[in-house]
Amino acid sequence: MPLAAMPNQALPLTINTEEYPPFNYTDGQGQIIGSATLLLRHALSRADIEAHFRLLPWARAYTEARLRDYHCVYSTTRTPEREALFHWVGPLVVNEWAAFSLVERGLSIASLSGLQGWRVGSFREDAVGDYVASRGINVLRAPSERENILRLEAGLLDVIVTGKATGEFMAQEQHIALTHLFTFYRAPLYLACHPSVPEALLARLQTQLNALHREMQEESQ
């Protein structure tokens, strides 16, 4: 019997992600860590779901989850264009979308409309870049978020648009002084799974994720 015809079978999931600190990234030993990763691993363990994590370039991580059975991807922005392509679990964390430039450039830009005419960087299949491009801004796409930071430092870009926490993390990591120009959106990030993943399995995962969020909220009070 084909896998898709066995909806109750708890097969191992393949969970793809990318270098997108502080939510998901690798440490010095090559282990996938980050705030979203930790939360997701805990929820999977509580739900008794076996999963294998892989770190890939974002475009590949996203495409494999869209096309391959029992594949998922995180941390994923849940957009109207993506909604019907996946089964969703979350949110895991909340991402603030922001624009940055090098401190030494001294740029003063306060809104998306102010980005017109500047060289604005994002990366392939990224919802932040898609959103900015949909506002009529020309967006230059890199293979990865880390490459964007290097392009900015090299003078190939004027501004990058990315998650606020991600931009600040990578700037500190690479000892680059960035200016936070403005924040323009708050986007919850999710686990997005291929439709072949049984909804009952993902409901178990959602239940455990909800419980973890409640516990974290109680601890912070």
Q: What is the pLDDT of residues 99-148, one digit of tens each?
A: 999 999 999 999 999 999 999 999 988 999 999 999 999 999 998 888 98
What does the pLDDT read at residue 66?
Answer: 98
Residue 201 lies in domain: 3-94+188-220
Could you tell me if 8 and 87 lie in one domain? yes
For the four alpha carbons of 180, 161, 18 and 2, in that order, the dihedral sign comes to: positive
Could you tell me if 89 and 21 lie in one domain? yes
pLDDT bracket for residue 197 (50, 70, 90): very high
Query: For the chain, how far is it from start to end, CA to CA, in angstroms?
Result: 50
pLDDT at 209 over 80: yes
Could you tell me if 18 and 85 lie in one domain? yes
Per cent of the chain over pLDDT 70 is 95
Per cent of the chain over pLDDT 90 is 87
Q: Are 89 and 193 in contact (CB under 8 A)?
A: yes
CATH number of the domain where residue 132 is located: 3.40.190.10
Q: Are 153 and 102 in contact (CB under 8 A)?
A: yes
Q: What is the DSSP code (8-state) at residue 14?
A: E
The amino acid present at 54, given as its one-letter code, is R
Could you tell me if 138 and 167 lie in one domain? yes
Cβ within 8 Å of residue 165, ≥6 positions away: 21, 22, 23, 95, 96
Mean pLDDT to the nearest integer, 155-170: 96
Could you tell me if 141 and 130 lie in one domain? yes
pLDDT at 42 over 50: yes
Mean pLDDT to the nearest integer, 8-26: 87
Q: Is the peptide bond before 22 cis (omega within 30 degrees of 0)?
A: yes
Could you tell me if 153 and 204 lie in one domain? no
pLDDT at 198 over 80: yes
Q: Are 18 and 166 in contact (CB under 8 A)?
A: no
What does the pLDDT read at residue 114?
Answer: 97
Could you tell me if 178 and 108 lie in one domain? yes
**Which SS3 state, helix, strand or coil, does residue 84 take?**
helix
Q: Which residue has the tokens 């964390």?
A: 93
**pTM for this entry:** 0.83
Mean pLDDT to the nearest integer, 25-32: 94
Could you tell me if 114 and 134 lie in one domain? yes
| 174-186: pLDDT as tens digits | 899 999 999 999 9
Could you tell me which of 105, 190, 198, 186 has the C-alpha nearest to residue 152?
105
What does the pLDDT read at residue 10?
Answer: 57
Could you tell me if 20 and 126 lie in one domain? no
**Which SS3 state, helix, strand or coil, does residue 94 take?**
strand
Mean pLDDT to the nearest integer, 1-30: 77
pLDDT at 75 over 60: yes
Mean pLDDT to the nearest integer, 188-213: 97
Q: Which residue has the tokens 């096309």?
A: 67
pLDDT at 3 over 70: no
Could you tell me if 193 and 86 lie in one domain? yes
Distance CA 44, CA 42 (A): 5
Q: Are 121 and 150 in contact (CB under 8 A)?
A: no
Could you tell me if 69 and 101 lie in one domain? no
The number of domains in the chain is: 2
Cα separation values, 212 from 24, 37, 72, 165, 189, Å: 18, 13, 20, 22, 16
- In 27-157 the beta strands, taken as DSSP E runs, fall at 32-33, 51-55, 71-77, 87-102, 120-123, 139-142
Could you tell me if 90 and 100 lie in one domain? no
**Which SS3 state, helix, strand or coil, does residue 106 take?**
coil
